[in-house]
Structures are given as structure tokens and as C-alpha cells.
Homo-oligomer: A and B are copies of this chain.
Amino acid sequence: MDETEALGAFAALSQETRLRILRLLVTSGPDGLAAGAVAEAMGVSSSNLSFHLAQLERAGLVTSRRESRSILYSAAYPVLADLIRFLMRDCCQGHPEVCVPALEAAPACCPPEKDVPHV
């Protein structure tokens, strides 16, 4: 992920509705959710939701696919991982005190049975 992509991702995440949409989609799994379901969960109009989903998609944070009449949106997990990496790589550069505490919080998210390299 380069600076331009990171800027786009941060801009996408800097709006309350969009941050909440992304969190919903991440926890909804790779199959995704129909735009209508997301709109209902967020309590916003379909046109407003469409606007925000388009921003998230332009930032690469979500992907969409049509399934019959619905359009299903899902979180782009690899791009999220890229963004975390960007923060660690480009912002921690030579400053482990930034990302060590972040990593210490990771086990809650990443189950230890996965064979992750010793950091």
C-alpha cells in the first residue's frame, strides 16, 4: 500500500457512517451483506448509503457483486491488513515502541493456534 492508497483509506474511515458500515461488513464475513440490509442496519437512506458504499469501494476497503436483485458488499480483508501494515511499516519505522503495544493487544483478535511467526 502506497501513500495515496493509505490517504484514500483513511479518508474513507474518517466518516462515522462509513466506519460503522465497514465494521458491520467485517463482522458479517466474506459472503457480505446486501446494500439494503446495510442501509437498514445503519438507519440511513438508500441513496446516502450508496454514496458511502461507493466511497468505501473506491478506497478498496469493500468489494461488491450482484446477486439477483441485490448487490452484496463485503469487507476487503487483505486491504485492511495492508492498512495495518502501512501504519506499522511507515509510521513505526525504527520506533518499536509504537507497534509493540499494538501487537500485545493482538492475541484477542488473532487466535494463538494459528502458526504466526514469533515477532
Contact = CB atoms under 8 A, between A and B. Distances in A.
A6 interface: yes
A3 B26 CA distance: 15
A42 interface: no
Contacts of A84: 84, 87-88, 98-99, 102
Given A3-B19, A119-B103, A114 B98 contact: no
A15 to B, nearest CB: 7
Contacts of A93: 23, 26-27, 109
Interface of A: 3, 6-7, 10-11, 13-16, 19-20, 22-23, 26-27, 29, 75, 77-78, 80-85, 87-112, 114, 116-119
25 contacts: A3-B16, A7-B13, A10-B10, A13-B14, A23-B93, A26-B91, A26-B93, A75-B98, A80-B98, A81-B97, A81-B101, A84-B84, A84-B102, A85-B105, A89-B108, A92-B109, A92-B110, A99-B110, A100-B114, A100-B116, A103-B110, A110-B119, A116-B118, A116-B119, A118-B118
